[in-house]
């Protein structure tokens, strides 16, 4: 495909991702497995996560520049939280329910890339939550995620 859009652009940019995390954290707040985990999150949490995901998906550096965050900084938020696989799976389920609810792009290519990233990131979050030593160096760049094997969005 000529001029392949980033996953970020295909998703609808920052407004679409912020809407996604807004709806997602509303569900988290009512979920018996996840509510205790996120009870003390900051009012900015939802927006920061949207910024982080947007940056990973090829958007502007809203997390690293705008929020003063970093890859190591994001990982730090998970250290010592002792997250479990059932919590991770619920997190994924609620995020994908939210993606459908807000009408996020649902073509096979986009969803395959999105799920690939979320599986990768959420499994790392669980692993990192079992330790208090940050495995990510302060200077390490943000992860980047692309279209993978399909190479671009659905073309009818
Ligand atoms: C792709 C997967 C994930 C991404 C991109 C991600 C991203 C983030 C980011 C950016 C923050 C910091 C927010 C801020 O600056 O305010 C954060 C914090 C946090 N995340 Fe994740 N996360 C992921 C997976 C998970 C999973 C699977 C869980 C739990 C099941 C989880 C639990 C938490 C908790 C408990 C915090 C700290 C909340 C607080 O401040 O009290 N994360 N995450």
pLDDT in tens, 49-106: 999 999 999 999 999 999 999 999 999 999 999 999 999 999 999 999 999 999 999 9
CB atoms within 10 A of CB 93: 12
Cα 14 to ligand 1 centre (Å): 18
Secondary structure letter of residue 3 according to DSSP? T
Overall average pLDDT of the 115-121 stretch: 98
Cα 35 to ligand 1 centre (Å): 13
Secondary structure letter of residue 132 according to DSSP? S
Overall average pLDDT of the 37-55 stretch: 97
Q: Where is 108: in which H helix or E strand?
A: helix 108-128
CA distance 113 to 9: 13
CB atoms within 10 A of CB 48: 20
Tokens standing for residue 76: 């730090």
CA distance 12 to 93: 21
Domain extents in the chain: 9-128
CB atoms within 10 A of CB 86: 10
For residues 51 and 63, the answer to whether their CB atoms sit within 8 Å is: yes
pLDDT value, residue 147: 98
**pTM of this structure:** 0.97
Cα 121 to ligand 1 centre (Å): 10
The CATH T-level fold of domain 9-128 is Globin-like (1.10.490)
For residues 61 and 86, the answer to whether their CB atoms sit within 8 Å is: no
Q: In sequence order, which residues have a C-beta less than 8 Å from that of residue 130 and are 6 or more positions away?
A: 82
- ipTM for the complex shown: 0.98
Q: Is any ligand 1 atom within 6 A of the Cβ of residue 49?
A: yes
pLDDT value, residue 101: 98
| 78 assigned ligand-binding residue | no
Q: Where is 28: in which H helix or E strand?
A: helix 13-28
CA distance 102 to 73: 28
Q: Which residue's CA is the closest to the ligand 1 atom numbered 8?
A: 49
1: confidence class by pLDDT, cuts 50, 70, 90: low
pLDDT value, residue 72: 97
pLDDT in tens, 13-36: 999 999 999 999 999 999 999 999
């Amino acid at each position: 495909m000529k001029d392949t859009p980033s996953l970020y652009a295909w998703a609808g940019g920052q407004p679409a991702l912020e809407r996604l995390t807004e709806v997602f954290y509303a569900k988290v707040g009512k979920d018996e497995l996840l509510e205790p985990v996120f009870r003390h999150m900051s009012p900015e949490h939802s927006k920061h996560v949207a910024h982080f995901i947007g940056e990973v998906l090829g958007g502007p550096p809203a997390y690293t520049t705008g929020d003063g965050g970093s890859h190591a900084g994001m990982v730090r938020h998970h250290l010592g939280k002792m997250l479990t696989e059932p919590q991770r799976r619920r997190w994924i389920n609620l995020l994908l329910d939210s993606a459908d609810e807000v009408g996020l792009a649902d073509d096979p290519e986009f969803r395959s890339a999105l799920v690939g990233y979320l599986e990768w990131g959420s499994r790392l979050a669980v692993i990192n939550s079992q330790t208090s030593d940050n495995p990510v160096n302060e200077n390490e760049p943000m992860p980047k995620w692309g279209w993978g094997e399909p190479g671009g969005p659905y073309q009818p």
